[in-house]
A and B are shown apart, each in its own frame.
Chain A
Amino acid sequence: MHLTIPIGSDIFDANRRHANKNRKLFESHGVTAINIMGAIGSGKTTLIELAIKHLGEQCRIGVIAGDVVADIDASRFKKYGVPTIARNTGKECHLDAHLVDHAIPKLPLTNLDLVFIENVGNLICPTDFELGEHKRAVIVSVSEGDDIVSKHPMIFLSSDLVIVNKVDISEFVGADPDKMVNDAKTIKPNITTLNTSAKTGDGINAWINWIKACMQDNTVKP
Protein backbone atom coordinates (compact mmCIF):
# COMPACT_ATOMS: atom_id res chain seq x y z
CA MET A 1 0.00 0.00 0.00
CA HIS A 2 1.19 3.49 -0.85
CA LEU A 3 0.78 6.14 1.77
CA THR A 4 1.68 9.82 1.67
CA ILE A 5 2.68 11.15 5.05
CA PRO A 6 2.80 14.88 5.60
CA ILE A 7 5.75 16.00 7.70
CA GLY A 8 6.17 19.75 7.30
CA SER A 9 9.05 20.12 9.70
CA ASP A 10 11.82 22.63 9.18
CA ILE A 11 15.33 21.19 9.34
CA PHE A 12 16.43 24.20 11.35
CA ASP A 13 13.82 23.47 14.03
CA ALA A 14 15.79 20.50 15.32
CA ASN A 15 18.86 22.67 15.67
CA ARG A 16 16.84 25.40 17.36
CA ARG A 17 15.43 22.95 19.90
CA HIS A 18 18.93 21.76 20.64
CA ALA A 19 20.12 25.34 20.98
CA ASN A 20 17.37 26.15 23.45
CA LYS A 21 18.40 23.19 25.53
CA ASN A 22 22.02 24.42 25.53
CA ARG A 23 20.91 27.92 26.48
CA LYS A 24 18.90 26.62 29.43
CA LEU A 25 21.87 24.61 30.59
CA PHE A 26 24.12 27.67 30.47
CA GLU A 27 21.50 29.67 32.32
CA SER A 28 20.98 27.10 35.04
CA HIS A 29 24.67 27.59 35.86
CA GLY A 30 24.52 31.38 35.60
CA VAL A 31 26.75 31.29 32.53
CA THR A 32 26.55 33.84 29.73
CA ALA A 33 27.43 32.41 26.31
CA ILE A 34 28.65 34.51 23.39
CA ASN A 35 28.86 33.18 19.83
CA ILE A 36 31.86 34.73 18.08
CA MET A 37 31.36 34.55 14.35
CA GLY A 38 33.25 36.23 11.54
CA ALA A 39 35.41 35.99 8.48
CA ILE A 40 38.48 33.75 8.34
CA GLY A 41 41.42 35.44 10.01
CA SER A 42 39.43 38.52 11.00
CA GLY A 43 40.66 38.35 14.60
CA LYS A 44 38.15 36.16 16.44
CA THR A 45 40.76 34.31 18.49
CA THR A 46 42.77 37.48 19.13
CA LEU A 47 39.76 39.39 20.46
CA ILE A 48 38.75 36.50 22.72
CA GLU A 49 42.35 36.35 24.00
CA LEU A 50 42.17 40.06 24.80
CA ALA A 51 38.91 39.54 26.63
CA ILE A 52 40.52 36.79 28.70
CA LYS A 53 43.44 39.10 29.54
CA HIS A 54 41.15 41.93 30.60
CA LEU A 55 38.41 39.97 32.34
CA GLY A 56 40.22 36.87 33.53
CA GLU A 57 40.64 38.27 37.06
CA GLN A 58 37.03 39.38 37.42
CA CYS A 59 35.17 36.44 35.99
CA ARG A 60 35.66 32.79 35.20
CA ILE A 61 35.89 32.19 31.47
CA GLY A 62 35.67 29.06 29.34
CA VAL A 63 35.99 28.63 25.58
CA ILE A 64 34.58 26.29 22.98
CA ALA A 65 36.79 26.62 19.91
CA GLY A 66 35.37 25.43 16.61
CA ASP A 67 38.48 24.67 14.61
CA VAL A 68 37.93 22.90 11.33
CA VAL A 69 40.68 20.33 11.79
CA ALA A 70 43.49 20.92 14.26
CA ASP A 71 43.33 22.52 17.71
CA ILE A 72 45.50 25.53 16.99
CA ASP A 73 43.08 28.11 18.35
CA ALA A 74 42.25 25.93 21.36
CA SER A 75 45.92 25.77 22.34
CA ARG A 76 46.10 29.56 22.15
CA PHE A 77 43.32 29.80 24.74
CA LYS A 78 44.76 27.06 26.94
CA LYS A 79 47.88 29.18 27.43
CA TYR A 80 45.77 31.49 29.59
CA GLY A 81 44.74 28.60 31.77
CA VAL A 82 41.07 28.82 30.79
CA PRO A 83 39.09 25.62 30.30
CA THR A 84 38.94 25.12 26.55
CA ILE A 85 37.20 22.51 24.46
CA ALA A 86 38.20 22.11 20.83
CA ARG A 87 35.30 21.12 18.62
CA ASN A 88 36.62 19.81 15.38
CA THR A 89 33.98 20.40 12.79
CA GLY A 90 35.69 18.23 10.19
CA LYS A 91 34.54 19.38 6.79
CA GLU A 92 31.78 21.45 8.28
CA CYS A 93 31.68 25.15 7.70
CA HIS A 94 29.89 26.07 10.92
CA LEU A 95 29.24 24.90 14.46
CA ASP A 96 25.77 23.62 15.21
CA ALA A 97 23.90 23.20 18.46
CA HIS A 98 24.58 19.48 18.47
CA LEU A 99 28.36 19.92 18.35
CA VAL A 100 28.14 22.49 21.13
CA ASP A 101 25.94 20.17 23.15
CA HIS A 102 28.73 17.61 23.09
CA ALA A 103 31.28 20.17 24.22
CA ILE A 104 29.28 21.58 27.14
CA PRO A 105 29.57 18.61 29.53
CA LYS A 106 33.35 18.81 29.19
CA LEU A 107 33.36 22.37 30.54
CA PRO A 108 33.23 22.93 34.31
CA LEU A 109 30.07 25.03 33.99
CA THR A 110 29.52 25.36 37.74
CA ASN A 111 32.83 27.20 37.97
CA LEU A 112 32.24 29.50 35.00
CA ASP A 113 30.54 32.84 34.39
CA LEU A 114 31.24 33.39 30.73
CA VAL A 115 31.71 31.08 27.74
CA PHE A 116 32.98 32.21 24.37
CA ILE A 117 32.13 29.97 21.45
CA GLU A 118 34.48 30.68 18.54
CA ASN A 119 32.67 29.68 15.38
CA VAL A 120 34.30 28.57 12.14
CA GLY A 121 35.56 31.47 10.02
CA ASN A 122 32.71 31.92 7.55
CA LEU A 123 30.17 34.68 6.98
CA ILE A 124 27.41 32.53 5.51
CA CYS A 125 26.92 29.13 7.08
CA PRO A 126 26.96 29.92 10.84
CA THR A 127 24.09 32.38 10.39
CA ASP A 128 21.21 29.90 10.52
CA PHE A 129 22.60 27.74 13.30
CA GLU A 130 21.87 28.99 16.80
CA LEU A 131 24.12 27.34 19.33
CA GLY A 132 22.42 28.32 22.57
CA GLU A 133 24.21 31.61 22.89
CA HIS A 134 22.83 34.71 24.59
CA LYS A 135 24.56 37.15 22.27
CA ARG A 136 26.11 37.00 18.84
CA ALA A 137 29.11 39.02 17.79
CA VAL A 138 30.37 39.06 14.22
CA ILE A 139 33.95 40.14 13.54
CA VAL A 140 35.18 41.34 10.20
CA SER A 141 38.40 43.15 9.46
CA VAL A 142 39.33 45.88 7.04
CA SER A 143 41.50 43.47 5.09
CA GLU A 144 38.42 41.68 3.76
CA GLY A 145 37.61 44.90 1.89
CA ASP A 146 34.99 47.43 2.87
CA ASP A 147 32.24 45.78 0.78
CA ILE A 148 32.30 42.66 2.92
CA VAL A 149 29.41 43.76 5.15
CA SER A 150 27.01 44.59 2.35
CA LYS A 151 27.92 41.34 0.57
CA HIS A 152 26.80 39.22 3.52
CA PRO A 153 23.84 40.98 5.09
CA MET A 154 22.21 37.94 6.73
CA ILE A 155 24.87 37.32 9.34
CA PHE A 156 24.75 40.97 10.45
CA LEU A 157 20.99 40.83 10.63
CA SER A 158 21.23 38.01 13.14
CA SER A 159 23.96 39.58 15.30
CA ASP A 160 23.97 41.88 18.31
CA LEU A 161 27.42 43.32 17.76
CA VAL A 162 29.61 43.92 14.74
CA ILE A 163 33.30 44.54 15.20
CA VAL A 164 35.37 46.03 12.41
CA ASN A 165 38.85 44.92 13.44
CA LYS A 166 42.38 45.74 12.26
CA VAL A 167 41.58 49.42 11.80
CA ASP A 168 45.34 50.02 12.22
CA ILE A 169 45.87 48.75 8.68
CA SER A 170 42.85 50.33 6.98
CA GLU A 171 45.00 52.85 5.11
CA PHE A 172 47.30 50.15 3.78
CA VAL A 173 44.46 48.06 2.43
CA GLY A 174 42.44 51.05 1.27
CA ALA A 175 39.30 50.17 3.20
CA ASP A 176 37.03 52.56 5.03
CA PRO A 177 35.96 51.13 8.42
CA ASP A 178 33.25 53.78 8.78
CA LYS A 179 31.62 52.56 5.58
CA MET A 180 31.60 49.03 7.01
CA VAL A 181 29.98 50.17 10.22
CA ASN A 182 27.41 52.22 8.31
CA ASP A 183 26.57 49.26 6.08
CA ALA A 184 25.91 47.17 9.19
CA LYS A 185 23.65 49.91 10.59
CA THR A 186 21.72 50.03 7.34
CA ILE A 187 21.14 46.29 7.50
CA LYS A 188 20.26 46.36 11.18
CA PRO A 189 19.72 49.83 12.66
CA ASN A 190 19.93 48.69 16.29
CA ILE A 191 23.15 46.66 15.98
CA THR A 192 26.02 47.75 18.23
CA THR A 193 29.15 48.61 16.27
CA LEU A 194 32.80 48.85 17.29
CA ASN A 195 36.00 49.69 15.47
CA THR A 196 38.93 47.90 17.02
CA SER A 197 42.60 47.22 16.65
CA ALA A 198 44.25 44.46 18.59
CA LYS A 199 47.58 46.01 17.61
CA THR A 200 47.05 49.55 18.95
CA GLY A 201 44.37 48.72 21.53
CA ASP A 202 41.83 51.02 19.90
CA GLY A 203 38.28 50.10 20.84
CA ILE A 204 39.33 47.24 23.10
CA ASN A 205 37.86 48.85 26.22
CA ALA A 206 34.55 49.20 24.42
CA TRP A 207 34.73 45.50 23.48
CA ILE A 208 35.33 44.58 27.13
CA ASN A 209 32.47 46.82 28.26
CA TRP A 210 30.13 45.24 25.74
CA ILE A 211 30.95 41.81 27.17
CA LYS A 212 30.35 43.04 30.72
CA ALA A 213 27.00 44.46 29.64
CA CYS A 214 26.04 41.08 28.15
CA MET A 215 26.73 39.40 31.46
CA GLN A 216 24.77 42.08 33.30
CA ASP A 217 21.79 41.64 30.94
CA ASN A 218 21.86 37.96 31.51
CA THR A 219 21.82 38.13 35.30
CA VAL A 220 18.94 40.62 35.46
CA LYS A 221 16.83 38.37 33.23
CA PRO A 222 14.00 36.67 35.16
Chain B
Amino acid sequence: MHEYSIATEIYDSAIRVAEENHATSVSAIELEIGELAMINCDQLTFCIESIVKGTLFEGAELKIAEIKAEIRCGCGYTGKAADDSMRSYLICPQCNAPAELIRGREIIIREITICT
Protein backbone atom coordinates (compact mmCIF):
# COMPACT_ATOMS: atom_id res chain seq x y z
CA MET B 1 0.00 0.00 0.00
CA HIS B 2 0.96 3.63 -0.25
CA GLU B 3 1.28 4.78 3.36
CA TYR B 4 4.77 6.12 2.74
CA SER B 5 3.76 8.41 -0.13
CA ILE B 6 0.70 9.56 1.78
CA ALA B 7 2.93 10.32 4.76
CA THR B 8 5.18 12.39 2.50
CA GLU B 9 2.19 14.31 1.13
CA ILE B 10 0.97 15.00 4.64
CA TYR B 11 4.39 16.18 5.73
CA ASP B 12 4.82 18.41 2.64
CA SER B 13 1.44 20.10 3.16
CA ALA B 14 1.88 20.50 6.89
CA ILE B 15 5.43 21.85 6.74
CA ARG B 16 4.32 24.50 4.25
CA VAL B 17 1.70 25.75 6.69
CA ALA B 18 4.12 25.60 9.61
CA GLU B 19 6.72 27.64 7.74
CA GLU B 20 4.20 30.18 6.51
CA ASN B 21 3.29 30.74 10.13
CA HIS B 22 6.91 31.05 11.25
CA ALA B 23 6.82 28.01 13.49
CA THR B 24 9.92 27.17 15.47
CA SER B 25 8.52 23.74 16.23
CA VAL B 26 5.30 21.80 15.89
CA SER B 27 3.72 20.21 18.94
CA ALA B 28 0.74 18.41 17.44
CA ILE B 29 -0.75 17.35 14.16
CA GLU B 30 -4.27 16.11 13.80
CA LEU B 31 -5.47 13.97 10.92
CA GLU B 32 -8.81 12.58 9.92
CA ILE B 33 -8.82 9.45 7.87
CA GLY B 34 -11.80 7.82 6.21
CA GLU B 35 -12.43 4.25 7.22
CA LEU B 36 -12.42 3.35 3.51
CA ALA B 37 -9.30 5.31 2.60
CA MET B 38 -7.40 2.00 2.57
CA ILE B 39 -4.80 3.35 4.95
CA ASN B 40 -3.28 1.37 7.77
CA CYS B 41 -2.95 3.94 10.56
CA ASP B 42 -0.14 2.12 12.38
CA GLN B 43 1.92 2.03 9.22
CA LEU B 44 1.10 5.64 8.48
CA THR B 45 2.16 6.68 11.97
CA PHE B 46 5.40 4.79 11.57
CA CYS B 47 6.07 6.45 8.19
CA ILE B 48 5.31 9.94 9.48
CA GLU B 49 7.51 9.42 12.53
CA SER B 50 10.44 8.41 10.38
CA ILE B 51 9.94 11.28 7.93
CA VAL B 52 9.79 14.00 10.59
CA LYS B 53 13.06 13.07 12.30
CA GLY B 54 15.25 16.14 12.40
CA THR B 55 12.48 18.49 11.18
CA LEU B 56 10.21 21.06 12.85
CA PHE B 57 7.78 18.22 13.35
CA GLU B 58 10.07 15.98 15.36
CA GLY B 59 8.34 14.96 18.57
CA ALA B 60 4.94 16.35 17.52
CA GLU B 61 1.99 14.43 18.87
CA LEU B 62 0.13 12.70 16.06
CA LYS B 63 -3.62 12.37 16.51
CA ILE B 64 -5.66 10.39 14.03
CA ALA B 65 -9.44 10.37 14.07
CA GLU B 66 -11.51 8.09 11.90
CA ILE B 67 -14.17 9.39 9.54
CA LYS B 68 -17.05 6.96 9.37
CA ALA B 69 -18.36 6.06 5.96
CA GLU B 70 -21.67 7.59 4.98
CA ILE B 71 -23.85 6.85 2.01
CA ARG B 72 -26.65 8.72 0.31
CA CYS B 73 -29.43 7.42 -1.86
CA GLY B 74 -32.00 8.92 -4.22
CA CYS B 75 -34.77 7.67 -1.92
CA GLY B 76 -33.70 10.20 0.68
CA TYR B 77 -31.59 7.94 2.88
CA THR B 78 -28.37 9.38 4.27
CA GLY B 79 -26.36 7.51 6.85
CA LYS B 80 -24.50 4.35 7.67
CA ALA B 81 -24.27 1.29 5.46
CA ALA B 82 -26.07 -1.91 6.42
CA ASP B 83 -22.83 -3.57 7.55
CA ASP B 84 -19.11 -3.17 6.93
CA SER B 85 -18.73 -5.37 3.88
CA MET B 86 -17.33 -3.46 0.89
CA ARG B 87 -20.48 -4.26 -1.01
CA SER B 88 -22.81 -2.67 1.48
CA TYR B 89 -21.20 0.74 1.06
CA LEU B 90 -22.66 0.87 -2.43
CA ILE B 91 -26.19 -0.21 -1.63
CA CYS B 92 -28.93 1.68 0.17
CA PRO B 93 -30.01 -0.21 3.31
CA GLN B 94 -33.47 1.33 2.98
CA CYS B 95 -34.37 0.52 -0.62
CA ASN B 96 -31.48 -1.61 -1.97
CA ALA B 97 -30.81 0.78 -4.84
CA PRO B 98 -27.21 1.71 -5.71
CA ALA B 99 -26.21 4.44 -3.29
CA GLU B 100 -23.47 7.04 -3.38
CA LEU B 101 -20.58 6.95 -0.93
CA ILE B 102 -20.31 10.54 0.29
CA ARG B 103 -17.85 10.20 3.18
CA GLY B 104 -15.21 7.79 4.33
CA ARG B 105 -12.44 7.92 1.73
CA GLU B 106 -10.72 11.15 2.66
CA ILE B 107 -7.33 11.83 4.22
CA ILE B 108 -7.54 15.24 5.84
CA ILE B 109 -5.02 17.30 7.77
CA ARG B 110 -7.38 18.86 10.30
CA GLU B 111 -4.96 21.15 12.13
CA ILE B 112 -1.46 21.60 13.43
CA THR B 113 -0.35 23.19 16.68
CA ILE B 114 2.84 25.17 16.38
CA CYS B 115 5.18 27.05 18.69
CA THR B 116 6.41 30.37 17.47
Binding site for B on A (CB under 8 A): 1-12, 14, 91-94, 96, 124-125, 128, 150-154, 157, 187-189
Contact = CB atoms under 8 A, between A and B. Distances in A.
Contacts of A8: 108-111
Contact of B1 (A3, A6, A124, A154): A124
Nearest to B5: A92
B4 A91 contact: yes
Contacts of B27: 2
A96 B4 CA distance: 14
Nearest to B14: A7
Nearest to A150: B87
Given A7-B17, A10-B107, A93-B2, 15 more contacts: A2-B27, A2-B114, A3-B113, A3-B115, A5-B21, A8-B108, A9-B108, A10-B108, A14-B13, A91-B4, A92-B2, A96-B5, A124-B1, A153-B87, A153-B90
B98 A125 contact: no
Contacts of B28: 4
Contact of B111 (A2, A7, A124): A7
A15 to B, nearest CB: 8
B38 A125 contact: yes
A10 B116 CA distance: 25
B80 interface: no
A3 B90 contact: no
B112 A4 contact: yes
Contacts of B108: 8-11
A61 B57 CA distance: 46
Interface residues of B, number: 34
Contacts of B110: 6-8
Interface in B91-107: 98, 101, 105-107
Contacts of B51: none
Contacts of A153: 86-87, 89-90
Contacts of A4: 28, 111-114
Interface of B: 1-2, 4-6, 9-10, 13-14, 17, 21, 27-28, 36-38, 86-87, 89-90, 98, 101, 105-116
Name A's interface SS: mixed
19 contacts: A2-B113, A3-B114, A3-B115, A4-B114, A5-B111, A7-B14, A7-B112, A8-B110, A9-B109, A10-B108, A11-B13, A11-B106, A11-B109, A12-B106, A150-B87, A151-B86, A153-B86, A153-B90, A157-B90
B107 A5 contact: no
Contacts of A14: 9, 13
B59 to A, nearest CB: 14
Contacts of A128: 37-38, 105
Contacts of A152: 86
B102 to A, nearest CB: 13
> Which 5 pairs between the two chains have the least Cβ-Cβ distance?
A11-B107, A7-B109, A4-B113, A6-B111, A11-B9
Contacts of B9: 11, 14
B86 A154 contact: yes
